[in-house]
Chain A
Amino acid sequence: MGYYSYGLPPFVVVVIALYILLTGSGEAFNVGRFLEESSPYAWAATGIGLCIGLSVLGAGWGIFITGSSILGGGVRAPRISTKNLISIIFCEVVAIYGVIIGIVYSAKLGEFVPEAHLYTRENYFTGFALFWGGLTVGACNLLCGLCVGITGSTAALSDAADPNLFVKILVVEVFGSILGLFGLITGLLMVSQASDFSAASSLASPLVSVA
C-alpha cells in the first residue's frame, strides 16, 4: 500500500512534466519567468507569515517539552516547579523574537502600490528579502525553541535528581537560546538594504512592455 500512496503522486507529476517537455512546451518550466511574474507582495507576506508562525511553533513545542518534564518530575520533587519556570521563559522569548521581526518586516510593506507600478528592481529585492528573511528567522526560532525545550527538560529532571545540578545544566540552555538571537541578527541584516515598497514613476509590469 505504501507504493500507491507514496509513489503514485510523484509518478503522475513526472509523467505530466515529461508530456509538457516533450511536446514542445518546455518553455513552461521557466523559473525566471515565474520569479518575474509573481508579485513581490506575495513573497513578502509569505515571509512575514512564516516568520511569526514558525517562531511561535518553536516556542510552543519547547514549552510543552519542558512543561511535561517539569510536571512529571514535580510529582516526586515538588520543589523544582517554581525554579524551572525559567526554562519556559527562555522558550517564550523565542516567540517574542518572531513578533519583533514580524513587526519590523511589516513596516517595510509601506503604502499600497498599484499593480502597474509595482515591478521594479527594488521591489523585487524587498519581496525576496522579506521572504527569505522571514523563513530564516522563523526556522532559526523553531530550532532554538526545540533546543531550549529539550535542554530545559533535561535540566528539570536533573534538578529533581540533585538540586545542585540545575544551575550547571542551565548553562547548556543559555547556549541553546543564542540560536534564536543569531537568527534575529541575520533577519535584520538581510532586510537592512531593502527599501520599502514604492511605486515606479512609469509603467513597470512584467506582462506589459512599453515600446
Chain B
Amino acid sequence: MSLYPPYPPFFGFAGVASAMVLSTVGTLFGTAKAGIGIAGLGTFKPELIMKSLIPIVMSGIITVYGLIVSVLISSALTPTFYPLVAGFIHLAAGLACGFTGLTAGYTISVVGDSCMCAYVYESKVFASIVLILIFAEVLGLYELIMALIMNSKVMGLEVC
C-alpha cells in the first residue's frame, strides 16, 4: 500500500459525473413540468407566455451551476500527484453540488407548474411567483458555494 496509489482519479471523476448528471436531472424536472404548465397557460392567455418563461430559465441555470463545478473539478484532475484525499474531496464536492441541484430543480418544477395555474386566473400573483422561484433558485446557488469551498481545500494540499 503506497502513499500515492493510482486510483484516486476514479473518485475525482465520479465527483465530476455526479455534479453534472444530478444537476441535469433537476433541470429535467424543472423544464418538463413547468413547460407543461406554460402550455396550459398559453391555451387560455397567450400574451402571458413570455413572462412565464422564468421557471424554465431558472432551471437552466441549475445545469450551469453543475457545469461550472464539473469544469472546476476536472481541471484539477491530473495523473501525477493526485492524492487520495483530493479524490475524496472532489467526490464530496460533486455529490453536494449534484444532490442540491436535483432538489432545486425539483422545487422549481413543482412551484412553476402550480404558479402557472394560478397566473391564469389572477395576474397580480406574478410578484410572489418570482419571489418563490428566487428562493428555490438560491438552493441551487448553495450547491455552487459548497462545491467551491470544498474545491478550494484541494488547492491547498502540498506534497508530504
Contacts and interface: CB of A to CB of B under 8 A. Distances in A.
Interface of A: 32, 35-36, 119-122, 124-125, 128-129, 131-133, 135-136, 139-140, 143-144, 146-147, 150-151, 154-155, 157-158, 161-162, 164-165, 168-169, 171-173, 175-176, 178-179, 182-183, 185-186, 189-190, 192-195
A162 B43 contact: yes
A124 B5 CA distance: 10
B39 A183 contact: no
A172 B24 contact: no
B78 interface: yes
B29 to A, nearest CB: 9
Interface stretch (B7-15, B118-126, B127-135, B142-150): B7-15
B4 to A, nearest CB: 9
A86 B7 CA distance: 44
A174 to B, nearest CB: 10
A183 B7 contact: no
Contact of A121 (B13, B17, B27, B79): B79
15 contacts: A124-B6, A125-B78, A136-B70, A147-B32, A150-B36, A157-B39, A165-B46, A168-B46, A172-B56, A178-B60, A182-B66, A183-B24, A189-B75, A190-B70, A190-B77
Interface of B: 1, 5-7, 9-10, 13-14, 16-17, 20-21, 24-25, 27-28, 31-32, 35-36, 38-39, 42-43, 46, 49-50, 53, 56-57, 59-60, 63-64, 66-67, 70-71, 74-75, 77-80
B39 A133 contact: no
Given A132-B13, A132-B17, A189-B74, A179 B32 contact: no
B74 A190 contact: yes
Given A136-B17, A175-B57, A169 B32 contact: no
Nearest to A130: B13
Contact of A179 (B27, B38, B79): B27
A129 to B, nearest CB: 6
Given A125-B6, A158-B39, 10 more contacts: A121-B79, A125-B9, A136-B16, A136-B70, A165-B39, A175-B31, A176-B31, A179-B63, A183-B24, A195-B79
A157 to B, nearest CB: 7
A132 B32 contact: no
A135 B79 contact: no
A29 to B, nearest CB: 14
Contacts, number: 150
B13 A140 contact: no
A50 B10 CA distance: 16
7 A-B pairs with least C-beta separation: A132-B13, A35-B7, A125-B79, A150-B32, A172-B35, A139-B21, A136-B17
A103 B67 CA distance: 23
A151 B32 contact: yes
Contacts of B39: 154-155, 157-158, 165, 169
